[in-house]
Amino acid sequence: MPIERLLGSLRGLPGTPVPALKILLACLLAVSSVASAALIRDRAVPDVVPLHDAASDVPAHEPPLPLLWKVSDADNAVYLLGSFHLLKDDDYPLSPDIDAAFADAGRIVFEVAPEDLADPDTGRKFLEAARFEDGRTLSDVLDPRLREKLHRLLARQGSSIGQIDHYSPWYVNLSLMLGLSQSLGFRAEQGLDRYLMQQALDAGKPTSGLESIDDQLHALVASPMAEQVTGLEDFIDRPQEIPAELSSLHQAWRDGDVAKLDALTRLEMLDRTPQTYQIINVDRNEAWLPQLQQMLDDHRHLDFLVVVGALHLLGEDGLVEKLRMHGYRIERICSACEPAADSGIEPDAAASPAPESP
């Protein structure tokens, strides 16, 4: 299935400017390494050559500024850490703030539990979810212009659309993005969540997940077909812009720049694909919120570190603001940040009392 190889033929082709690249990039901040691990394990093609090498050469500073908040009540705390699911070697070591939160936490919680992610059956579930279930094919849901463009690109590689015709647009889209990301030096196994899973294993800390593999696959599959096609169309029409977009997103994460991340991902996704935004971000946050409240209300003197995609912490629909609205004390943890820096989220308010534990 030569999905990534077709990217070599995309350079210089005319396209229709559709501002949805950031929507796919937002998914990299919202969906855990289930998708990336399954795709990378099962793909049967080499990495794509970067279209713009310079876009991946943004100088790194050490270490990244953390997207880390401490949420507390009278007797314990939950640390919320915004992850980037694809990182590079030079994104490590981590901030001492993350190391301290990890050391303080008695349990490390991820989107999906590490043992579920490592289950050999995960790849099969992912590929099954990627297939059409209603008899349609990729050719059926693409308009003639896009279908012909994809057909020509595949033909240049000695392939045909028939080889990927049974896969949904979201799967083809993520395959393209992850193949390109790898060629730019990003690796799923170096993502922050995967790194901390290994750290927890080494330290003997208990771990758990906020949702199941099936929950996460449902979020991907449930995206409206029209919005899936929009993302695939934009990738095929404007691949030359993606390396720079990904580099900008990565740098904003490294800088701990909440306002920029919000503009690059959440606000664009909310405007362009509101139903996908609701499914990928809002609905999952609402499902996780009671679990976070239970960690705070029912566990005296036990602190938690919760690692989720950075998108889930941003804006009024983010977990940080939702917990603030419930009266918990919120503190941004970033010892290397400028004191006057705008976090992009409501500042810590002394007027927000920590609720008493029952």
Of 8 and 271, which is predicted with more confidence?
A: 271
pLDDT exceeds cutoff 90 at 257: yes
What integer is the mean pLDDT of 179-190? Answer: 88
- Percentages helix, strand, coil for the chain (3-state, rounded to 5) are 55, 10, 35
Of 66 and 22, which is predicted with more confidence?
A: 66
pLDDT exceeds cutoff 60 at 294: yes
pLDDT exceeds cutoff 50 at 330: yes
Give the range among 18-22, 99-103, 259-263, 306-310 with minimum mean pLDDT.
Answer: 18-22
Give the range among 53-62, 202-211, 283-292, 298-307 with minimum mean pLDDT.
Answer: 53-62
Q: How far apart, in whole angstroms, are the C-alpha atoms of residue 155 and residue 149?
A: 10
Q: Cβ(191)–Cβ(36) under 8 Å?
A: yes
What integer is the mean pLDDT of 251-257? Answer: 96
Q: What percent of the chain has pLDDT over 70?
A: 78
Whole-model pTM? 0.84
Chain segment 60-74, per-residue pLDDT in tens? 558 999 999 999 999
Give the dihedral of Cα atoms 345, 263, 334, 307; nearest 10 deg: 90
Domains of the chain, residue spans: 4-332
